[in-house]
Every structure is written in C-alpha cells, then in structure tokens.
Amino acid sequence: MGASGATNQAEREKGDTEDKQESSPGQGGVKETAGPGPGAEAAGPKPRSVRMVLFSLMIAVLLAMLDNMIVGTAMPTIVGELGGLEHLSWVVTAYTLTTAASTPLWGKLGDMFGRKGVFLTSIVIFLAGSMTSGAAQTMGQLIGFRALQGLGAGGLMVGAMAIMGDLIPPRERGKYMGMMAGVMSLAMIGGPLVGGTLTDHLGWRWAFYINLPLGAVALAMVGTVLHLPKKRSQGRIDYTGAVLLTVGITAAVLVTSWGGTEYDWSSSTIIGIGALAVAALIAFPFVERRVAEPILPLRVFRSGNFSLVAFIGFLLGFVMFGSMTFLPLYQQSVQGASATNSGLLLLPVLLPMMVVSVVTGRATTKTGKYRIYPIVGGALIPVGLFLLAQMDVGTSRLTSGLYMAVLGAGMGFLMQLTMLIAQNSVELKDMGVASSTTTLFRTIGGSFGVALMGTIFATHVEDSMKESAAAAGDAGGGPAAKLTEGGAQLDAASLEKLPEQVRAAYEHAVVNGTHAVFLLAAGVTVLAFVAAWFIKEVPLKDAAAQKSAEPEEDGVPAAG
C-alpha cells in the first residue's frame, strides 16, 4: 500500500508539473498548449492558436506602419478642406513626437505589469485617436487627435515584438521576424495606393477610419486567444526618469523637425530646445542608476551586442527614412514619374528588403547563425547609397532600380536581425525594454536622417538654382528666381508647365541635392559596417533555455 501510494503520489506530481508547463509556456503562452516548452522541438508545428496570435500581432504592426503612409497621400485633400496650411507639418510631427516619446514607456510598463493588458490598451488608444482624427473639424483638432493616435502607436510595435519575444524563443524567432519585415514592406508599398483610393472614392476621413475594422480584429484576437501570466510589480513606476526621457526625446525630435525649416539652426528657439534635450538626457542616466525600477535599465547596455545593434539600428533608421523621402522626389522631379503611384516607385527597394528579410530569418532559424548577415548588410547599404549618389538627369529607371535593389537588400539583412540580436542579448524580464529601446533608436535615427538630409538637400537645390538664374541673367523676378524662392517642392505635372530651360535647371538642382544626401548617407553608414564586425555570435536561446531561465528572471509569481 505504501509503495503503491508513493507511486500514485509521484504520478500526480508529474501530472501537475506537466499541466503547469502547458498552461504557462515560457514567459507566457497561448491558451493551453500554445507556447514553446522544453519539448517544443519534438512537438512539430506550432499550434493554430499561436499562429492566430502572430497574425493579430502582424495586424497591429500593419496598423502602426500603414497609418503615416496612408495619411501622407491624403494630406493635400485634408488641407483643402480644413485649411491651416501653415500647420501642416504638425500633423506628422505630433504623431511622430508622441510615438517616439511613449515607446520606452510602453516597453517598461509591459515588463512590469504584463504584456497583454498593456498591448490591448495601446490598441484602444490608437483606435480612439484614429476615430477622433477622422471626425476632426479643424486643423488644430486633427493635430491633437494625431498626437493621441501616436501615443497608442508607440505601444503597437513594441508590444508586438515583445509578445513575440515571450512566445517564440530566439532560436525559432528569425522566420517570424522575417514575416514582420514583409508586413512592413507591404505597408510601405500599399499605403500610398490605399490612401489615394480611399481619399478619391470615400473621402480623406476614411484614411483614419480604415484603422477601426483592422484594429477591432486585432483587439478581438489578442483579447480572446492570447493568454499571458498577469504581473503585479512590487516596484514603483519611475516617474522622474519617465519625465526626463520624455522631455529629452521630445526636445530632440523637435530640434530635428524644426531645425532648418520652421526656425534657423542658429535661432534662439532651436538652441534653447537643443540645450533642454541635452540637459534632460544627461540627467536621465544619473536618475536611472538610483531607482529600483528604472524606465530604461542601463544594465541592458552592458551587453556589447545590444549596444552595437542599437547603434546600427540608429544608422538604419537614418538611411531608411531618408531614402524613402528623397528617392520618390528624384523619381518624380527628374524621371517624370507620377506621384499617384508613389508606393510603386519604391518597389525596387522594398521587394529585395522583404525577400532578404524573410530568407535570412528562415536561415537564422534553421542554422542558429546570424553574425554574417549584419556584416553583409552593413557592406551593401553604403555601396547602394554610393551608387544612388551617381544618378544624374540621364539615369534610366532600370539603372536606378538596380541601385535601389542593392540598398534594399542591404536593409533586408539588418531590418529584423537587429531586433532579434537585441532580444537575445537581454534577460527575459527586459524583453519589453530591449524591444522599445531598439525601436526608439531607429525612430530617432530616422528623425535625424530626414532633418539633416532635408537641410542639405534644400541648400544644394537653392544654391544650384541661384547659379542657374544668375547664369541666365534671371536674378530678378524671372521663372528660375521665383522657383528658387518657392522651394524645391515641384511634382512632375508642375514641372511640365515650366519653360524647358528652367525645368532642366531644376532637374540638375535636384540631382545635385540627391547626390549630396546619398553621399552623406553612404559615409555615415560605413560606421554600421564597422560596428557589425564587432558583433559576437552568441548562441540563440532555444525553447528549453528560455523556459529554464523564466523563474530566475521573472522574480514575480505568475497569476493565471
């Protein structure tokens, strides 16, 4: 009886252990047998519920990426109805500002209180901002509601990446991140086309309302299928650090957005905001070292790989956002392409980026090796940018397309692997911080890239047009002089109406501008190639390693 009872007790304990493993895989899981556990490799394909969660995460990423691409196409119509042309840039700046400022906060809140609730909250805020933006009656209202929408958007990308980090161990995560890159590329390609179609047939308000059904699907799927452990952090929220980081990021974004456009770089406004950004960002690490639950734990930067990919991500954002701005301008102004199909103009960049991201993701999952990919990508990006800097007024679309493909392939090698390496470099409890920090560096890099490239481009175009006007004896009120005063913002249709000599001068001016910005970007991104060589091939954690690390890293008992 004693032996039999001991055997039965052992069997019951074994069953209880298996039940716990099934209900809470890894950091969390998906209803019952969703997440990876020690026997994940032998279990075969992922359960359908995991795929459904990943599908809902991709919808959230699509929402975050698609919004600005759609709205950009609708902006001329919006200004025509609401007026306020002088405040046009704020429609974009308000969204970008709140997205960048809130990104690290969303990541830390997810680490402290659980990913699911925080992620659902960000979706609700984004949808509320979308609905109110679509109903805006004035430009001021639209700017305010776009800020609300950006606040929610800051949590969409971070939440999706962090949840994926919880559900899928790094050893298997590469192929899914490649799929995420494909979704981002799809948004960049389809956004302008969708935005133009909605604006032409349903009105500009549907550029915002289209988010509602997509968001409702993501909200329902995440709410019903995703089951992650609830957390109740014992620490207090780092309010001082949050304020300093928000002020620092906000000021830095404002400097890059306003400098050289709204205000001169030497103006007291830009200098004052820049000083505020520097002061806040210098004070931030001193505060973070002294609080129990820092909003951005500095310990993550102790990992050499994490610091390197954060730096590479900054440079990637610098190049990606800058090239997406000035390539269409060259194609429209010099090659005569239509602005209506602006998404299709970027296909030579986006398709290679998408294909390479998917292929390298699957290869990383299969082999567990990844160090070579940042090196190859770091080499291809400056080569592609240098080739783009060689374009002139006679460059064919085929030739420029090949140059763009080199750049796109290079970005594809880095697009998602930087996130994967960052997540693999930190403890499980810092997954949200790793995701948000990587996203933040890329966002700030994009802001700096667009601002700096924009200033250099405008200066070169203006100087070139002044030289052409002087050479033609048009220093007064002739077409070339007026074009110089009006700035470099002409589309293909407007250029057709210009005198041939003036049009040729403007095309040469745009070529000079794009030559300068792509040459600058090529020089800057050589640093990414150098940094990539210092990345170490740290083995990617598999399901068993992630599972075994959970109790030590969480530090907080999971509750249902």
Give the model confidence (pLDDT) of 291-301 as tens digits: 877 877 888 88
Using CA atoms, how far apart are residues 477 and 485, in angstroms rounded to an integer?
A: 10
Residue 465 pLDDT greater than 50, yes or no: yes
Can you read off the two tokens belonging to residue 534? 């210092």
Listed residue (121, 151, 131) closest to 208, CA to CA: 131
**Winning range, highest mean pLDDT, from 76-85, 401-410, 465-474, 545-554:** 401-410
pTM recorded for the entire structure? 0.71
Residue 4 pLDDT greater than 50, yes or no: no
What helix, strand, coil percent values describe the chain, rounded to 5?
80, 0, 20
User: What pLDDT score does 397 carry?
Assistant: 85
User: What pLDDT score does 340 carry?
Assistant: 56
Q: Which residue has the higher pLDDT, 279 or 54?
A: 279
Residue 456 pLDDT greater than 80, yes or no: yes
Residue 32 pLDDT greater than 50, yes or no: no
464-492 average pLDDT score: 57
Q: Which residue has the higher pLDDT, 61 or 208?
A: 208
**Winning range, highest mean pLDDT, from 162-176, 489-503, 522-536:** 522-536
Q: Which residue has the higher pLDDT, 209 or 18?
A: 209
Geometric angle at alpha carbon 425, from 424 and 431, rounded to 5°: 70
User: What pLDDT score does 373 carry?
Assistant: 92
Q: Which residue has the higher pLDDT, 98 or 33?
A: 98
User: What pLDDT score does 495 carry?
Assistant: 59
User: What pLDDT score does 534 carry?
Assistant: 93
Residue 118 pLDDT greater than 90, yes or no: no
* Burial class, 5, CB count within 10 angstroms (exposed 0-12 / middle 13-18 / buried 19+): exposed
**What CA–CA distances, in Å, run from 333 to 489, 505, 508, 521?**
9, 11, 10, 21
Q: Which residue has the higher pLDDT, 507 or 527?
A: 527
User: What pLDDT score does 124 carry?
Assistant: 93
User: What pLDDT score does 23 carry?
Assistant: 37
236-263 average pLDDT score: 80
For the chain, the residue count is: 560
What is the average pLDDT value for the chain, to the nearest integer? 76
* Cβ-Cβ contacts under 8 Å for 514 (sequence gap 6 or more): 326, 329, 330, 388, 389, 391, 457
Q: How confident is the model at residue 87 (pLDDT cuts 50, 70, 90)?
A: low
Can you read off the two tokens belonging to residue 464? 């070139």
Residue 436 pLDDT greater than 50, yes or no: yes
Residue 9 pLDDT greater than 70, yes or no: no
User: What pLDDT score does 450 carry?
Assistant: 75
DSSP secondary structure of 368-433? ---THHHHHHHHHHHHHHHHHHT--TT--HHHHHHHHHHHHHHHHHHTTHHHHHHHHTS-GGGHHH
- What is the per-residue burial (b if ≥16 Cβ within 10 Å, else e) of 385-418? bbbbbebeeebeeeebbebbbbbbbbbbbbbbbb
Residue 256 pLDDT greater than 60, yes or no: yes
192-215 average pLDDT score: 81
Quick one: what percent of the chain has pLDDT higher than 90? 14
Question: CA gyration radius for the chain?
Answer: 25
User: What pLDDT score does 390 carry?
Assistant: 92
